[in-house]
């Protein structure tokens, strides 16, 4: 019988005398592949269970990265490590599970400590009881009144009268020639002048004297003088309140209240400059 004789149909082998080979069990290759696949599956399950048991109480540092099995897992099968409860989920006080918070997979989670509280502002130191209060600034010095036509002479109280004197270096003379200018007793827009001992300058019988305030209306008027512009630069004329038209002037170096006169000597004698106090 030739070797290349065509194979008869398998459903009728007895007609040609050919019989199928029964020395090998049918489907052997498929059974082998199925066994290998089952073995790989079992190995992967055992490895996954072992990893979960070892890492059950520790936070996974790379929960989202795939883990490749060892050489016992054929076919390059991979498995993903399951994140533990500490990383994936947090449990609230009432027992409910909160949704997992996103975590970075490139580095291990670090525990952040409590944020530092801002430092309290240091209270401003309160002044101690023994600290003395700041002293008041000294009262400004009074004024002195200088004559225009006799610039080396000033008003000065001497023996109760106001005279136009030359002032030396003695403290008493300089104090007698220094006054305080205050609001007018009879008219606040005018002036009154007080001495160092609290007395006022007033005219009596048209002569300027030093006197104590008796509270009368006459005294307030006699001690009030209103400034008027002078024809001489920087000078003023002082007009009596209760005798309008009468101005203070010096005659024989005595201060008096006299009616206005249209002459140069009167204008010069009745012009005065208010300067800084001499004391």
CATH of 143-276, one of 3.40.190.150, 1.10.3720.10, 3.60.10.10, 2.80.10.50: 2.80.10.50
pLDDT digits over 10-64, tens only?
A: 555 555 555 555 555 556 677 778 888 888 888 888 888 777 776 655 444 444 4
Query: Could you report the per-residue pLDDT of 66-86, keeping only the tens digit for each?
Result: 444 444 444 444 444 544 444
Query: pLDDT-derived band of residue 65, with 50, 70 and 90 as boundaries?
Result: very low
Burial of 43 (0-12, 13-18, 19+ CB in 10 A): middle
- pLDDT at 36 (0 to 100): 84
Which tens digits make up the pLDDT trace of 239-274? 999 999 999 999 999 999 999 999 999 999 999 999
Residue 58: CB partners within 8 Å, gap ≥ 6? 84, 86
pLDDT, tens digit, for every residue of 190-239? 999 999 999 999 999 999 999 999 999 999 999 999 999 998 989 999 99
Residue ranges matching CATH 2.80.10.50 in the chain: 143-276
- Give the phi and the psi of residue 39 in degrees, each rounded to 5: -65, -40
Task: Note the pLDDT of residue 191.
Answer: 97
Greatest alpha-carbon pair distance for the chain in Å reads 184
Q: What is the 3-state secondary structure (H, E, C) of 233-274?
A: CCCEEEEECCCCCEEEEEECCEEEEEECCCCHHHHHHCCEEE
Q: What is the pTM of this model?
A: 0.51
CA atoms lying within 13 Å on the CB side of residue 159: 4
Mean pLDDT of the chain: 75
Section 143-170 average pLDDT: 95
**Is 136:268 a contact under the CB 8 Å cutoff?**
no
Going through 116-253 in order, the beta strands assigned E by DSSP cover: 143-147, 153-158, 161-166, 180-183, 191-194, 200-204, 207-211, 225-229, 236-240, 246-251
Q: Phi and psi for 176 in degrees, rounded to 5? A: -65, -20
């Amino acid at each position: 019988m030739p070797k290349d004789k065509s194979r008869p149909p398998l459903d009728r082998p007895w007609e040609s005398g050919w019989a199928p080979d029964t020395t090998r069990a049918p489907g052997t290759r498929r059974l082998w592949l199925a066994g290998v696949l089952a073995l790989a599956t079992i190995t992967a399950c055992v490895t996954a269970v072992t990893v979960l048991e070892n890492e059950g109480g520790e936070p996974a540092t790379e929960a989202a990265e795939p883990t490749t099995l060892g050489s016992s897992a054929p076919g390059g099968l991979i498995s993903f490590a399951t994140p533990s409860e500490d990383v994936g989920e947090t449990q609230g006080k009432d027992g409910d599970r909160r949704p997992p918070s996103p975590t970075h997979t490139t580095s291990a989670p670090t525990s952040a400590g409590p944020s530092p509280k801002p430092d309290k502002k240091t209270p401003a130191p309160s002044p101690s009881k023994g600290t003395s209060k700041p002293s008041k600034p000294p009262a400004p010095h009074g004024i002195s009144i200088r004559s225009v036509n006799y610039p080396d002479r000033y008003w000065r109280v001497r023996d109760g009268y106001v005279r136009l004197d030359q002032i030396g270096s003695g403290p008493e003379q300089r104090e007698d020639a220094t006054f305080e200018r205050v609001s007018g007793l009879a008219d606040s827009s005018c002036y009154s002048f007080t001495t160092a001992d609290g007395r006022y300058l007033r005219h009596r019988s048209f002569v300027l004297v030093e006197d104590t305030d008796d509270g009368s209306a006459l005294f307030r008027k006699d001690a009030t003088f209103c400034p008027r512009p002078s024809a001489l630069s920087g000078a003023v004329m002082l007009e009596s309140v209760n005798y309008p038209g009468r101005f203070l002037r010096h005659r024989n170096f005595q201060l008096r209240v006299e009616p206005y006169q249209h002459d140069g000597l009167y204008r010069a004698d009745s012009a005065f400059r208010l300067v800084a106090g001499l004391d």
